[in-house]
C-alpha cells in the first residue's frame, strides 16, 4: 500500500499539468474556431474572454457566447479549427518529441545538430573560404549527403572520411554512389565493376565538366578517348614504390605480402618502373626487361638518374642464383600480367590524336573520372588503383599549395575498393585525408573483404580512422554484425511482475540491460535503411535516399535509360561480324 501511495504522489503533478494543458488547448480551439465561424456566418469579429468558462458556456449552446451568429457556423468553425490543429500539431509534436526524447540508447536530432543543414553550413563556411560571403549556401556545397532521420536531412562535412558496408543488391549505387557523385561540388572519382555507376551519374556530371571514362576491359564498351602515362608516376622513388605496390597488393593478400617472393617482386618492379620513368621508356620496355633478367640497361638508367641504391639492389637481384632470380622475375611478371593484354595496354601508352589525362589538372576542375575494372588477377584493378592513387596524391599536393585544404573538395567514391582499388596504405591516408578537403567514401561488402587486402590491423585502423560509418543492408558477416551490435550498445528494460499471496498483492520491479540491435537485427536491416556511427555521437538508424525519389529522379531516369541504350548498342555492334 505504501508503494501505491508513493506512485500516485509522483504521478499527481503530471496529471495536473496534463489537465491544465488539455483545458487550455480545448479553450483555444473553441475561442478561435467559434469566433472565426461567427465571422464567416456574418456576425463579425467578437471574440469572447479567453477563460475555461467558455467550455461550460458552450455546453449550454453556442448562442450564449455568440448570440448573433448561426450555431451551425460556430460549430463548423470549431470543427475546422480542431481538424487543422490536429493535422499540424500532431506532426510538430512528434518531431519535438523525437528531438527531445530519442529512442533509448540512440542519438536524437538534438545530438545530430552539426549534421543538419544549418550545422553543415556552419562547418562549410569555416572549411571553404569561397562560401564565407555566400548568403544562401546550397545543400550540396555544404556537405556530403548521408541520409534522413525522422524526415530531417543529414550531411557529413568535407573533412569527414566515410566507410560504408553494404551487401550486393542492397542499393549502394542508388543511395551512395549516385547521390555522392551527382552532388559533388568539385572533381569526383568513381570506381566500379558495373556500368550503372556511369549510367546514373553521367548526365548531371557532364553538365559540370568533362567525363573521363577509363574502361580498358570494356565494361561500359566505352571507346578510348584519352590515355594515361602510368610510368610518369614513377619519376620519384616514392612514386615508383607506390606504383609497384598497386600490382603487388592486387595479386597478394595481406598475409602473403610479407613473404620473400612478394617483397622481392615489389622491389624489382619499383626499380624497373623508376628506371623506365627516368630514361624516357614506357611500359613495353618494362615488360622487355622482365623477360630478359640479365639486361643491363635498367641498371645503367638508374645510375644515370642518381638512384645508386636502387641500381645496386637491382644488380643484386640480377646476380642471384638462376633459380632464385627466375622466381623473383616470374613473380613480378605475374603481378603485372594484365599489361600483357594489348586492349588494356593501349590505355596507358601514347595514342596519336588523343589527350593524356593529367591528375594535377583534374583535381582543380569539376570533371569526373570513372574507373572500371573486372574482378580477378587478370583484371585492370592495379591500373585502377594506380590512377585513383595518382589523383589522390595530386589532390593532396594541390591542397598543400592553397593552405592545406582543397576548395572545392575532391570527392572520391571507391566502390568495390577491395577488388578494384586496393590502395595499400589507404588506412594510413584516412587519418589525415579529411583535413585536406578530400573526403573519401570507401565501400566494402564485408569487414573480412577489407581484412584480406589490408590485414586485421590495417582494417581496424581504417575502421577507427573513419569519422562516418554506414552499416547498411546485406551484412552477412556474423563477427562484424556482432561487433556493430556491441558498439550500438544496450538500453535499460524495466520488468515488473505481480504476485498474490495471503498477505495481498505485491509488485516487484527490476531493471536489466538489453541490446538495442542484436547481430540478427543488423543482418536483417531492410534495403534503404542503415545504422549510422559518428565520432563522439551515439548510433542512430537512418533512411537512405535513392536517387529515383529525388525531385530530379524522373529527369535522371530518362537520361540513364538513354545512356544504357548507348552502352547496349555499342556492345551489339562489337558482336556483329
Domain borders along the chain are: 2-100, 162-228+350-561, 230-342
Instruction: Tell me which long-range contacts 122-131 makes (C-beta under 8 A, separation of at least 24).
Output: 123/157, 123/159, 124/157, 124/158, 127/157, 127/158, 127/159, 127/405, 127/407, 127/437, 128/158, 128/405, 128/407, 128/408, 128/409, 128/437, 129/407, 130/407, 130/408
Mean pLDDT of 261-275: 96
Distances (CA, A) of 198 to 178, 329, 381: 9, 38, 17
Strands 368-372 and 468-471: unpaired
Q: Do residues 448 and 482 touch, judged by C-beta distance below 8 A?
A: no
Within 10 Å of residue 487's Cβ, how many Cβ atoms? Answer: 14
Report how far Cα 228 is from the mean position of its chain's Cα atoms. Answer: 28
Beta bridge partners of 372: 192
Instruction: Please work out, in degrees rounded to the nearest 5, the angle formed at the alpha carbon of residue 156 by the alpha carbons of 153 and 161.
Output: 150
Q: Is 40 exposed, middle or buried (0-12, 13-18, 19+ CB in 10 A)?
A: middle
Q: What is the pLDDT of residues 533-569, one digit of tens each?
A: 999 899 999 999 999 999 999 999 999 999 999 999 8
Given this model, what pLDDT does residue 213 score? 97
pLDDT tier at 577, thresholds 50, 70, 90: low
378-393: b or e for each residue (b if 16 or more CB lie within 10 Å)? Answer: ebbbbbbbbbbbbbbb
Q: H/E/C letters for each residue in 318-333?
A: HCCCHHHHHHHHHHHH
CA distance 240 to 151: 49
Q: pLDDT tens digits for 188-232?
A: 999 999 999 999 999 999 999 999 999 999 999 999 999 999 999
The average pLDDT across 86-91 equals 74
Span 496-520, mean pLDDT?
Answer: 76
Nearest by Cα to 275 from 251, 252, 243: 243
Query: Would you say residue 7 has pLDDT above 60?
Result: no
pLDDT at residue 2 in the model: 34
Q: What is the predicted pLDDT for the residue at 73?
A: 76
More confident residue, 74 or 468: 468
Angle at alpha carbon of residue 58, lines to 57 and 60, rounded to 5°? 70
Q: What is the DSSP-derived secondary structure letter of residue 227?
A: B
pLDDT > 80? residue 571: yes
Q: pLDDT confidence of 185, banded at 50, 70, 90?
A: very high
Report pLDDT digits (tens) over 451-498.
Answer: 999 999 999 999 999 999 999 999 989 999 999 999 998 766 666 677
Q: Residue 8 has what pLDDT?
A: 46
Q: How many CA atoms lie within 13 A of 340 on its CB side?
A: 11
**CATH number 3.40.50.300 given to 162-228+350-561:** yes
227 DSSP β-pair partners: 356
For the ranges 64-68, 73-77, 101-105, 319-323, the one whose mean pLDDT is highest:
319-323
What's this model's pTM, rounded to 2 decimal places? 0.82
Question: What is the SS3 assignment for 240?
Answer: helix
Q: Could you tell me which residues are beta bridge partners of residue 145?
A: 155
- Quickly tell me which residue has 545512356 as its cell: 563
Half-sphere exposure of 151 (CA within 13 A, CB side): 7
Rounded to whole angstroms, the Cα distance separating 440 from 348 reads: 25
Q: By the 8 A CB rule, do 74 and 34 touch?
A: yes
Q: How far is CA 225 from the centre of its chain?
A: 29
Q: Is 88 exposed, middle or buried (0-12, 13-18, 19+ CB in 10 A)?
A: exposed
Q: Which three three-digit cell numbers place residue 213?
A: 571514362
Amino acid at each position: 500500500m505504501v508503494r501505491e501511495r508513493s506512485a500516485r504522489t509522483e504521478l499527481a503533478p503530471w496529471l495536473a499539468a496534463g489537465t491544465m494543458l488539455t483545458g487550455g488547448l480545448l479553450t483555444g480551439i473553441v475561442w478561435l474556431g467559434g469566433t472565426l465561424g461567427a465571422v464567416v456566418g456574418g456576425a463579425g469579429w467578437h471574440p469572447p474572454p479567453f477563460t475555461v468558462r467558455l467550455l461550460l458556456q458552450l455546453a449550454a449552446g453556442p448562442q450564449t457566447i455568440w448570440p448573433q451568429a448561426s450555431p451551425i457556423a460556430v460549430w463548423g468553425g470549431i470543427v475546422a479549427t480542431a481538424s487543422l490543429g490536429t493535422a499540424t500539431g500532431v506532426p510538430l509534436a512528434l518531431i519535438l518529441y523525437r528531438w527531445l526524447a530519442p529512442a533509448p540508447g540512440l542519438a536524437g536530432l538534438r545530438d545530430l545538430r552539426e549534421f543538419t543543414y544549418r550545422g553543415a553550413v556552419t562547418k562549410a563556411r569555416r572549411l571553404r573560404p569561397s562560401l564565407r560571403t555566400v548568403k544562401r549556401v546550397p545543400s550540396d556545397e555544404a556537405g556530403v549527403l548521408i541520409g534522413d532521420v525522422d524526415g530531417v536531412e543529414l550531411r557529413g562535412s568535407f573533412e569527414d572520411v566515410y566507410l560504408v558496408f553494404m551487401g550486393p543488391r542492397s542499393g549502394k549505387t542508388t543511395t551512395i554512389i549516385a547521390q555522392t557523385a551527382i552532388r559533388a561540388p568539385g572533381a569526383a572519382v568513381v570506381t566500379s565493376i558495373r556500368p550503372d555507376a556511369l549510367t546514373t551519374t553521367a548526365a548531371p556530371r557532364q553538365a559540370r565538366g568533362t567525363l573521363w571514362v577509363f574502361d580498358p576491359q570494356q565494361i561500359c564498351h566505352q571507346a578510348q578517348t584519352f590515355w594515361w602515362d602510368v610510368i610518369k608516376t614513377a619519376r620519384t622513388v616514392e612514386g615508383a614504390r607506390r606504383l609497384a605496390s598497386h600490382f603487388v597488393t592486387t595479386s597478394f593478400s595481406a598475409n602473403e605480402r610479407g613473404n620473400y617472393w612478394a617483397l622481392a617482386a615489389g622491389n624489382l618492379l619499383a626499380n624497373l618502373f623508376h628506371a623506365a620513368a627516368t630514361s624516357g621508356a614506357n611500359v613495353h620496355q618494362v615488360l622487355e626487361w622482365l623477360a630478359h633478367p640479365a639486361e643491363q640497361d635498367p641498371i645503367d638508367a638508374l645510375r644515370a638518374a642518381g638512384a645508386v641504391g636502387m641500381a645496386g639492389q637491382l644488380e643484386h637481384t640480377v646476380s642471384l642464383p638462376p633459380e632464385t632470380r627466375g622466381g623473383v622475375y616470374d613473380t613480378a611478371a605475374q603481378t603485372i600480367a594484365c599489361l600483357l593484354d594489348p586492349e588494356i595496354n593501349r590505355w596507358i601508352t601514347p595514342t596519336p590524336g588523343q589527350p593524356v589525362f593529367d591528375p594535377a589538372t583534374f583535381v582543380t576542375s569539376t570533371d569526373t573520372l570513372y574507373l572500371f575494372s573486372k574482378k580477378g588477377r587478370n583484371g585492370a584493378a592495379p591500373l585502377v588503383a594506380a590512377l585513383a592513387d595518382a589523383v589522390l596524391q595530386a589532390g593532396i599536393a594541390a591542397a598543400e599549395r592553397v593552405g592545406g585544404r582543397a576548395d572545392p573538395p575532391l570527392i572520391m567514391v571507391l566502390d568495390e575498393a577491395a577488388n578494384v582499388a586496393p590502395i595499400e596504405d589507404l588506412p594510413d591516408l584516412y587519418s589525415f585525408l579529411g583535413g585536406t578537403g578530400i573526403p573519401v567514401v570507401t565501400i566494402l561488402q564485408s569487414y573480412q573483404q577489407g581484412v584480406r587486402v589490408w590485414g586485421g590491423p590495417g582494417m581496424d585502423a581504417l575502421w577507427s580512422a573513419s569519422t562516418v560509418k554506414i552499416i547498411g543492408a546485406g551484412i552477412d558477416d556474423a563477427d562484424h554484425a556482432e561487433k556493430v551490435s556491441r558498439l550500438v550498445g544496450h538500453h535499460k528494460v524495466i520488468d515488473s511482475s505481480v504476485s498474490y499471496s495471503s498477505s495481498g498483492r505485491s509488485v516487484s520491479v527490476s531493471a536489466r540491460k538489453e541490446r538495442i540491435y542484436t547481430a540478427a537485427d543488423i543482418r536483417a536491416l531492410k534495403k534503404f535503411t542503415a545504422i549510422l556511427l559518428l565520432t563522439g555521437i551515439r548510433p542512430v538508424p537512418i533512411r537512405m535516399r535513392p536517387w529515383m525519389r529525388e525531385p530530379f529522379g524522373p529527369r535522371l531516369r530518362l537520361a540513364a535509360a538513354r545512356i544504357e541504350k548507348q552502352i547496349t548498342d555499342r556492345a551489339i555492334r562489337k558482336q556483329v561480324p
